[in-house]
Amino acid sequence: MASVFPLADLKASVKPDSRPGSRSDSSPASWVDTIIKGDCVSALEALPSHSVDIIFADPPYNLQLGGTLHRPDQSLVDAVDDEWDQFASFEAYDAFTRAWLLACRRVLKPTGSIWVIGSYHNIFRVGATLQDLNFWILNDIIWRKTNPMPNFKGRRFQNAHETMIWASPSAKAKGYTFNYDALKAANDDVQMRSDWLFPICNGAERLKGEDGKKAHPTQKPEALLARVIMASTKPGDIVLDPFFGSGTTGAVAKRLGRHFVGIEREQDYIDAASARIAAVEPLGKAELTVMTGKKAEVRVAFNVLVESRLIKPGQVLTDAKRRYSAIVRADGTVASGGEAGSIHRLGAKVQGLDACNGWTFWHFEDGQSLRPIDDLRSVIRSDLAKAE
């Protein structure tokens, strides 16, 4: 795990027609669970198309900080106070952003999604570029820091958050993973909001060099990555991080039973990340089972209830308040007045609505009480479960 994969070897090893490791693939490609050493864009271009499930990117923010300014290639911009050069530097940053995002798009599956984190120095340029490239923004997520650095000069508000953008590769790409039900259940049964509260990475979690100094300047907290990965991937998915740094993405992905691919230029970071990831113990299957809702359940159609005699032809169904009633027919349709149709269509029609979920609208008599016909599907489902 976490072996280092030199870019040259990768180029030699990847077969153009090879399908990469996916959810159902038991033998993942050789570049999976490795750190690729090299430039972000070149490394991305060496990976197969549509091969990763999500991308988490923490690109450089180094924009107009202090008196010096670095270009994406790390060369120094000398005259920051020159108006033209400032404009040029934004252009350079935009070109860099465009290049790596384009390379990411090719590597990302159509059913995938991308996360990018940044601060006000760069996130507006990243967001605009994402839109220009026809990525489709799903949410912007605010990481609220419990313990941000104070503003020392007292000339601004304390900069207490960072922004993440979550996007799918296009407006029409709706196949992205979002574990809504698990997130809601984990959040005390209310849906997860777009503002998240986490401490910054400090203490034992923070990687230190031999000199005791922090190994990486912007190491992200594992809790943040854990929520990102739990929200938008399934176990076995491949998570790509094109700015791998200290390897938080890889460490959390491994712990959570996902595959990772990291891209990183600097050998020191690669060494630190490799050792870190090697020490991670993955969780077992039981712990990684993701809670799903009704959408993921086996489909049981209404006629199955009729055929199995849980509902009998001629039986009367009503709504919860007994304002409307309908008669069940042997073919699995229901009729009321002169109208007939599916439980959904008829439910909509009697209420004068465009749509209706017949499963929760229609009820049947059960002794003294009324129960939704949806309750009967669980009977069928438990029989199906025993049959397996």
| Least distance between DNA and beta carbon 77 (Å) | 4
Q: Identify which of residues 10 and 92 has a Cβ nearer to a copy of itself in the complex.
A: 92
Near a copy of itself in 329-348, by CB under 8 A: 329-333, 335, 340-345
- Number of residues near a copy of itself (by CB under 8 A): 116
H or E stretch at 241: strand 238-241
Residue 62 interacts with which of DNA, a copy of itself, none, CB < 5 to 8 Å by class: DNA
Which tokens in the block code for residue 299? Answer: 């489909």
| Least distance between a copy of itself and beta carbon 250 (Å) | 16
| Least distance between a copy of itself and beta carbon 217 (Å) | 20
Q: Does 304 bind a copy of itself (CB under 8 A)?
A: yes
Q: Identify which of residues 67 and 284 has a Cβ nearer to DNA in the complex.
A: 67
The β-bridge partners of 190 are: none
Give the Cβ contact number of residue 163 at 10 Å.
18
Residue 195 interacts with which of a copy of itself, DNA, none, CB < 5 to 8 Å by class: a copy of itself
| CA 128 from centre of chain | 20
| Least distance between DNA and beta carbon 297 (Å) | 7
CA–CA separation, 68 vs 76, rounded Å?
A: 7
Tokens 């050069």 label which residue?
A: 85
H or E stretch at 325: strand 325-328
Q: Identify which of residues 130 and 256 has a Cβ nearer to DNA in the complex.
A: 130
Near a copy of itself in 120-179, by CB under 8 A: 120-121, 123-128, 130-132, 134, 137-142, 144-148, 150-151, 154-161, 163, 165-166, 171, 174, 178-179
CA–CA separation, 289 vs 286, rounded Å?
A: 6
At residue 172, what is the residue type?
K
CA–CA separation, 208 vs 210, rounded Å?
A: 7
**At 371, is the secondary structure helix, strand, or coil?**
strand
Q: Identify which of residues 156 and 386 has a Cβ nearer to DNA in the complex.
A: 156
